[in-house]
Structure formats: structure tokens, C-alpha cells
Amino acid sequence: PRDPRRVYANPVYPEICPILALGIYLLCYLPDELSLFPGRSQYKRFMQVLSKIMMPPNQSAAPITAHLRSLGLQPEDLGSHSIRKGAATYCSSGSTHCPSSSAVSERAGW
């Protein structure tokens, strides 16, 4: 992207804090000299992990698939854009005093 992105810590909910997540990642894995994350295609890697979560070979995560189907969705219908779009929709419809659509679009990178 041509515009810089800003990332903020979330001390209220550490389970979704990107700064804490990056710190834990760096404690567990050593980045190589060229990139922070291994592999050439981060999108492909993300989609492989997402598909493993949505369509597990074992029955331990079958409730996720069952819940998606109860909503009329198939696991293969979801992708990285679904997550970004869902987050933007949640942000703009979570209350009666939500951020403007232009602020949400700028934050989502659209």
C-alpha cells in the first residue's frame, strides 16, 4: 500500500492486541534477514490455515462447520475478504454513534 498503516496496542483486551501477538511471535520464532514471516505468499499461507480451521479432517472442530451451515454458508465461501468486510461491518453497525463510513474504509485499507 502507498499509505502507511497504524497499529495500536489494546491493553483492555490482550487476546486481540496486535502488539502483544507480535511480541509472542518474535519470542517463539526468529525472523530471517529478509522477512518477518516465512514463505513467499502470505495470502496462500493464511488461506491454507483458514481452510484447515473451517474444514477439519477430524471431528473436533466440526461444530464450526455445522454452525456455518446453519447460517446458510459453506466453509469454502469464506476468505480473507470476508474477515475484513465483517470487521468493517461490525465497526460501522455496532452502535448508534459509530465512525463514519469514510473512516472505516480508510482504516480497512479500501
Average pLDDT score over the chain: 81
DSSP code at position 99? P
Nearest CA to 23 out of 34, 10, 39, 12 is that of: 10
pLDDT digits (tens, 9 = 90+) for 56-98: 666 655 777 788 888 888 877 888 777 778 888 888 887 778 7
> Does 91 fall in a domain?
yes
Are 109 and 1 in contact by the 8 Å Cβ rule? The answer is yes
In a domain, 85, yes or no: yes
The tally of domains found in the chain comes to: 1
Q: What is the pTM of this model?
A: 0.53
Give me the amino acid identity at 16. Answer: I
- In eight-state DSSP terms, residue 96 is S
CB 18 within 8 A of CB 24: no
Strand residue runs (E) in the chain:
none
The reply to whether 99 falls in a domain is: yes
Structural domain includes residue 94: yes
Evaluate whether residue 109 is within a structural domain.
yes
Q: Which residues span the domain enclosing 99? A: 79-110
